A and B are shown apart, each in its own frame.
Chain A
Amino acid sequence: MHILDFNKLSLRDINKTLQGSDKNSFFSIRNPKGSHALAVGINKKITVKIVGSVGYYCAGMNKFSDIKVEGSAGPGLGENMMSGNIYVTGDVSQYAGASGHGGSILVGGNASSRCGISMKGVDIIVKGNVGHMSAFMAQKGNLVIFGDAGHALGDSIYEANIYVAGEVASLGADCIEKKMTKKHLSNLANILSNANVSDYNPDTFRRFGSARSLYNFNVDNAKIY
C-alpha cells in the first residue's frame, strides 16, 4: 500500500501518481481536507482509499478503479464515470454520478439534489435520502434509494429504473410508478449484490420510470408555442 499525504504532496502530484500507477496498486490518501478534483481521470484497475472528506468532482471520469471515500464528498462525485466502483461512507452533495455511463456508486449517507442527473448507465445506490430533481433526464442505469426522495423525482426521464424504499415528495414530468415485476426484483438484487449490499427487504421498494409521453412531439401542444 502506498500512502499519499496532502500534508506533503500537492493535489497535482497525487493525481499524477494515481493516473500513472501500475495496475492493481493500492493507495491510501490522507488529509484531503475537502480538496477538489481528487482521484479524477483514472483509467486502470487500482484501489484508492481516501481517509477524510473531499470537495468537488472527486473520482470524476473514473474507469475500472475502486475508490472509497471515508467521509463525505462535495458536488459532482464520479461525474461522467465509465466503470469501476465508488463508495462514499458519508453524505454526497449535488449531482453525484451526473451523466455516468457505467460502474457503480454507493453512498452510505444522503445525496443532495440532482443525484444521477442525465445518468447513462451507471448504478447509483443511496442508503439515505436524495434531494430534489434526482435522476433528471436519466437515460439508462439504475438509481436505488433506501430513504426518501425529494421533489420532482425523475423529471423528464427517458429510460433508467428508479427504486425507492422510502417516501417520494413528488414525481417530475413524465415520471410514473411502474409495476415491480420479477425481472425488476432480480435486477434490484443484482445491483445490490454487485455493491455488496445485503441488508435490505426487496418488498419495501417501489419502481419508477418513464411514461414515455415526452418522446414525441404532441401536435395538440402546437398552439402553446
Chain B
Amino acid sequence: MCGIVGLFAKQENISANLGVHLSKMLESMSDRGPDSAGLAIYGKPLASKTKITVQSRSPKHDFQKLKKFLSAKKEISFSLKIHSTHAVIKLDVKQKDQVTNLINDSFPNLRILSVGKKMEIYKEIGKPAEVVKRFEIAKMKGSHGIGHTRMATESAVTTLGAHPFSTGEDQCLVHNGSLSNHNSLRRELIRKEMTFETENDSEVAASFITYRMNNGKTLKEALESALVELDGFYTFVVGTENGFGVLRDPIACKPAVLAETPDYVAFGSEYRALTSLPNIEKAKVWEPEPATVYFWGH
C-alpha cells in the first residue's frame, strides 16, 4: 500500500495554512502507511538564498558541531534552524556547492535530504501523526506540498527509505506501488553518474526523472519517458519549484483522487484524504486517467 497526499494552493488562505491542511491529510492516510511518513513543503523563496535540509540520528550533537564548523569559516554566512532530527540551513546560493561538499566530506553522520530555493523535506520512521507533530508541520506555510505514508515492501523501514525522495534541486517524488526493473535502471543511472542513498525502488524513479530534467527535458517529457522505461506499478506525485505533477501507470491499480476548487488542487490516494479540506463538498473531484501526465504550476 502507501498513501500519498498533495496540496497546491491557488489562494493565500490555503498557503497560509498549508501545513495544517497537509498534516490532517497525511494523518488520514495512516492506515495505508503506518511505517514512516514524510513531507516536502515549498515555502517562499528568499532572494539569492538557498536551503539545505539535513538529517541526523544524533541531532543534538551533530547540529551543534555543524554550526560551530560552519561559523569558523568566515566567508560563509548562514542560519541553521533545528526541527527535531532535521535542520534547515539557509545560505547564499553561491556557497551552496561549497557547503554541501563540506557536509558530505566532514559529517558522515549527516544526510542531505534536499537542496532548493523553496523546498524543505521532513521524513522519519513512525506513525504519520507522530511525524507531523515531531516537525511541527502544522506551523508551516507554502505554495504547495506533497506527503507520503509508507508501508514498506521493496526495502527496509529506515528514515532514508521514507518518502519524499529528492535527487535534484527543488525536485522530489513520492510513490505508491513497486517497480520491477529498478535494479537495472539504478545501474544504468549510476553509469550516468547519478548517486543513490538507498536500495529503494522509488529513489530510482526520482533519479530517473531528475536525470532527464537535468538533460533538458521538461517534467512532462520526463514523466512520459517513465511510462516507457519503468516496469511496475506506480502512482507518482512529483514536486517541482513551481508545482506538482501526477502520473499513474497504464494499468492504474494504485488509487488516486484529485479535487479542484478556486482555492486549491488536492491529491489523495483516497477521498478520505480530502475530506478535511475547505469546501470539498463543492470541489470538482475526479480520478486521474492512467498513463496521463497532469501538472499544476504557479
Measured in the bound complex, the distance between the Cα atoms of B286 and A131 in whole Å is 13
B271 touches A34 (CB 8 A): yes
Interface string of B3-34 (1 = CB under 8 A from A): 00000000000000000000000000000000
A53 touches B290 (CB 8 A): no
B225: Cβ under 8 A from any A Cβ? no
Residues in chain A near residue B255, CB distance under 8 A: 74-75, 93-94
B270 touches A74 (CB 8 A): yes
A139: Cβ under 8 A from any B Cβ? no
Across the interface, B270 reaches (CB within 8 A) one of A52, A55, A91, A112, namely A55
Residues in chain A near residue B286, CB distance under 8 A: 91
Interface string of B256-298 (1 = CB under 8 A from A): 0000000000000011101100000100011100100000000
B157: Cβ under 8 A from any A Cβ? no
Residues in chain A near residue B185, CB distance under 8 A: none
B252: Cβ under 8 A from any A Cβ? yes
Measured in the bound complex, the distance between the Cα atoms of B270 and A56 in whole Å is 9
Measured in the bound complex, the distance between the Cα atoms of B285 and A112 in whole Å is 13
| Residue ID in chain A nearest B31 by CB atoms | A36
A74 touches B290 (CB 8 A): no
Chain A 53-86 residues near chain B, CB threshold 8 A = 53, 55-56, 72, 74-75
Q: Is the interface of B mostly helix, strand, loop or mixed?
A: loop
Q: Is the interface of A mostly helix, strand, loop or mixed?
A: loop
A113: Cβ under 8 A from any B Cβ? yes
B287 touches A53 (CB 8 A): no
Residues in chain A near residue B274, CB distance under 8 A: 34
Residues in chain B near residue A132, CB distance under 8 A: 252, 290
Chain A 85-126 residues near chain B, CB threshold 8 A = 90-91, 93-94, 112-113
Residues in chain B near residue A113, CB distance under 8 A: 251-252, 290
A35: Cβ under 8 A from any B Cβ? yes
Residues in chain B near residue A56, CB distance under 8 A: 270
Closest chain B CB from A199 CB (angstroms): 23
The residue among B270, B272, B274, B275 with the most chain A CB atoms within 10 A of its own CB is: B272
Closest chain B CB from A167 CB (angstroms): 15
A33: Cβ under 8 A from any B Cβ? yes
Measured in the bound complex, the distance between the Cα atoms of B255 and A113 in whole Å is 11
Check A72/B285 contact, CB under 8 A, given A33-B272, A34-B270, A132-B290.
yes
Measured in the bound complex, the distance between the Cα atoms of B287 and A113 in whole Å is 10
Across the interface, B271 reaches (CB within 8 A) one of A72, A94, A112, A131, namely A72
Measured in the bound complex, the distance between the Cα atoms of B280 and A53 in whole Å is 11
Residues in chain B near residue A112, CB distance under 8 A: 252, 287
Measured in the bound complex, the distance between the Cα atoms of B283 and A53 in whole Å is 12
The residue among B255, B271, B275 with the most chain A CB atoms within 10 A of its own CB is: B271
Beyond A55-B272, A93-B255, A113-B252, 6 additional contacts (C-beta under 8 Å) are: A34-B270, A74-B270, A93-B287, A94-B253, A112-B252, A113-B251
Closest 6 CB pairs of A and B: A34-B272, A34-B271, A33-B275, A112-B287, A53-B271, A34-B275
